[in-house]
């Protein structure tokens, strides 16, 4: 890594105002939550969210958790339910993430949900995270603030060591108290443990008065992430197509004639931001889709990973 260029901000009103301003202009800001430091971006800004993947060097797009200040804010983005209300009443703010159906008009970038129609949302308990979310006033997508494949950051020093030359700022408020990621609970429709984490599953079961799905004696049924069903278009997808065949829709990249273009200027961040929205839009036309070659470097690696999954044969 080259020398850190990230601003180091204090968790006071001046520092948080600066952090909120950077988020509003599409910057990446790392901030403490009670679990681990998160690498935040405005969840409505696809290019900013693409920047998260670029900074982390993630070779694939996994759906991200959206952080909000309170239940009222969460309800703007997801279909709320009585069950969600009971869980939030008992455990928010805190290390519990709820996966709920996206609400119409949600405005969240499809890159956040990796094209799924559900959203993972949580209200962190850390006072600095809360103050930042309140100051920003919008939804913040944030995975753990570490380079892909490395351990999560529990101090600002970890964040700077791993990402200091790739992000706008870090809000330094010392070590995070919990140290492991939030527990993720799916609610579609029965409560299902998707990832064990900072809130013990037993505490959730005790509150609900019923066992959680996804728990076996050895732990959750599947490894974290594996239960996430990935969005795949219904249409046939053909990759590395220099031109469309008769009867195919063409998803372009770079200056070319196409039905939709990931990025006419060949910008990989713009392409990542457009990826899921364009696939959905072309898929709705119920014709096979040919995709122009996308260079396999930087964010192109994750773009190609997702395109290969979209093109893989399925039942
Ligand atoms: O404690 C935490 O949760 C930290 C702090 C920063 O809040 N964040 C975090 O985010 O751990 P991340 O990106 O490392 O974990 C997100 C995980 C994904 O790997 C995926 O398994 C799950 O959340 N997830 C997100 N959206 C989902 C969805 N719509 N359906 C199912 N799982 C989802
Ligand atoms: Mg992580």
| Domain assignments of the chain as residue spans, ordered by start | 7-208, 237-311
What strands, in cross-sheet order, belong to the sheet with 29-32?
7-9, 169-171, 29-32, 37-42, 140-141, 65-67, 118-122, 96-101, 183-186, 192-195
pLDDT at 182: 94
CA–CA gap between residue 20 and residue 17 (Å, rounded)? 5
CA 38, 63, 140, 22 torsion-angle sign:
positive
The response to whether residue 110 sits with its C-beta less than 6 Å from ligand 1 reads: no
Q: 268 CA distance to ligand 2 centroid (A)? A: 23
Q: Please state which CATH class domain 7-208 belongs to.
A: alpha beta
Torsion of CA 264, 268, 271, 273, to 10 degrees: -140
Smallest CA separation from ligand 1 atom 32, residue: 228
Instruction: Give this prediction's pTM.
Output: 0.90
Helix H, strand E, coil C: the string for the chain is CCCCCCEEECCCHHHHHHHHHHHHCCCCEEEECCCCEEEEEECCCHHHHHHHHHHHCCCCCCCCEEECCCHHHHCCCECCCHHHHHHHHHHCCCCEEEEEEECCCCCCCCCCCCCCCEEEEECCCCHHHHHHHHHHCCCEECCECCCCCCCCCCCHHHHHHHHCCCCCEEECCCCCCCCCCCEEEECCCCCEEEECCCCCHHHHHHHHCCCCECEECCEECCCCCCCCCCCCCCCCEECCCCCCCCCCEEEECCCCCCCEECCCCCCHHHHHHHHHHHHHHHHCCCCCEEECCCCCCCCHHHHHHHHHHHHCCCC
CA–CA gap between residue 237 and residue 287 (Å, rounded)? 9
pLDDT at 216: 55
Substitution site in 35, 74, 97 for ligand 1 pocket (most atoms within 8 Å of beta carbon): 97
**Who contacts 277 (Cβ-Cβ below 8 Å, separation ≥6)?**
46, 110
Spatial contact of 126 and 34, defined as CB atoms under 8 Å apart: yes
From the CA of 176, the nearest ligand is 1
The response to whether residue 144 sits with its C-beta less than 6 Å from ligand 1 reads: yes
What's the residue count for the chain?
Answer: 315
CA–CA gap between residue 146 and residue 58 (Å, rounded)? 10
Spatial contact of 124 and 33, defined as CB atoms under 8 Å apart: yes
Largest alpha-carbon pair distance within the chain?
A: 60
Question: Which residues surround the ion ligand 2 when the cut-off is CB under 5 Å?
Answer: 144
- List per-residue pLDDT tens for the chain, 315 residues long: 678 899 999 999 999 999 999 999 999 999 999 999 999 999 999 999 999 999 999 888 989 999 999 999 999 999 999 999 999 999 999 999 999 999 999 999 999 999 999 999 999 999 999 999 999 999 999 999 999 888 889 999 999 999 999 999 999 999 998 888 999 999 977 899 998 889 989 999 999 998 888 765 444 444 444 444 467 788 899 999 999 999 999 999 999 999 999 999 999 999 999 998 899 899 999 999 999 999 998 899 989 988 998 888 765
The response to whether residue 143 sits with its C-beta less than 6 Å from ligand 1 reads: yes
Q: 249 CA distance to ligand 1 centroid (A)? A: 33
The response to whether residue 120 sits with its C-beta less than 6 Å from ligand 1 reads: yes
Token pair, residue 14, equals 């001046």
The response to whether residue 147 sits with its C-beta less than 6 Å from ligand 1 reads: no
Q: Which residue has the tokens 């732990």?
A: 219
Task: Tell me phi and psi for residue 272, to 5 degrees.
Answer: -60, -45
pLDDT at 222: 45
CATH architecture observed for domain 237-311: 3-Layer(aba) Sandwich (3.40)
Substitution site in 43, 62, 125 for ligand 1 pocket (most atoms within 8 Å of beta carbon): 62
What radius of gyration do the chain's Cα atoms show?
Answer: 20
Q: 240 CA distance to ligand 2 centroid (A)? A: 31
Taking the CA of residue 225 as reference, the ligand 1 atom at the shortest distance is 21
pLDDT at 305: 87
CA–CA gap between residue 51 and residue 56 (Å, rounded)? 8
């Amino acid at each position: 890594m080259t020398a850190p260029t990230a601003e180091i901000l204090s968790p006071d009103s001046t520092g948080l105002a600066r952090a909120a301003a950077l988020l509003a202009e599409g910057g990446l800001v790392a901030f403490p939550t009670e679990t681990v430091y998160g690498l935040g971006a405005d969840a409505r800004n696809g290019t900013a969210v693409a920047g998260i993947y670029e900074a982390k060097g993630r070779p694939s797009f996994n759906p991200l958790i959206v952080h909000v200040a309170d239940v009222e804010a969460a309800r703007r983005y997801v279909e709320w339910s009585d069950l969600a209300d009971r869980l939030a009443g008992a455990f928010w703010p805190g290390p519990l993430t709820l996966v709920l159906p996206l609400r119409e008009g949600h405005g969240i970038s499809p890159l956040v949900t990796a094209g799924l129609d559900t959203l993972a949302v949580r209200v962190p308990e850390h006072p600095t995270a809360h103050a930042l979310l309140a100051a920003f006033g919008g939804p913040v997508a944030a995975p753990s603030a570490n380079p892909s494949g490395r351990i999560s950051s529990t101090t600002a020093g970890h964040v700077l060591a791993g990402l200091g030359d790739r992000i706008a700022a870090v809000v330094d408020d010392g070590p995070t108290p919990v140290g492991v990621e939030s527990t993720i609970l799916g609610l579609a429709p029965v409560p299902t443990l998707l990832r064990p984490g900072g809130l013990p599953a037993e505490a959730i079961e005790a509150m609900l008065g019923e066992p959680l799905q996804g728990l076996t004696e050895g732990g959750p049924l599947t490894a974290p992430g594996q239960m996430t069903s990935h969005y795949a278009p219904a249409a046939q997808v053909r990759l590395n197509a220099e031109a469309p065949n008769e009867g195919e829709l063409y998803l372009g990249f770079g200056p070319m004639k196409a039905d939709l273009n990931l990025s006419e200027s060949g910008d990989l961040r713009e392409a990542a931001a457009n990826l899921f929205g364009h696939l959905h839009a072309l898929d709705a036309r119920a014709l096979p889709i040919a995709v122009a070659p996308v260079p396999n470097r930087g964010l192109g690696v994750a773009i190609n990973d997702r395109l290969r999954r979209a093109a893989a044969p399925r039942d």
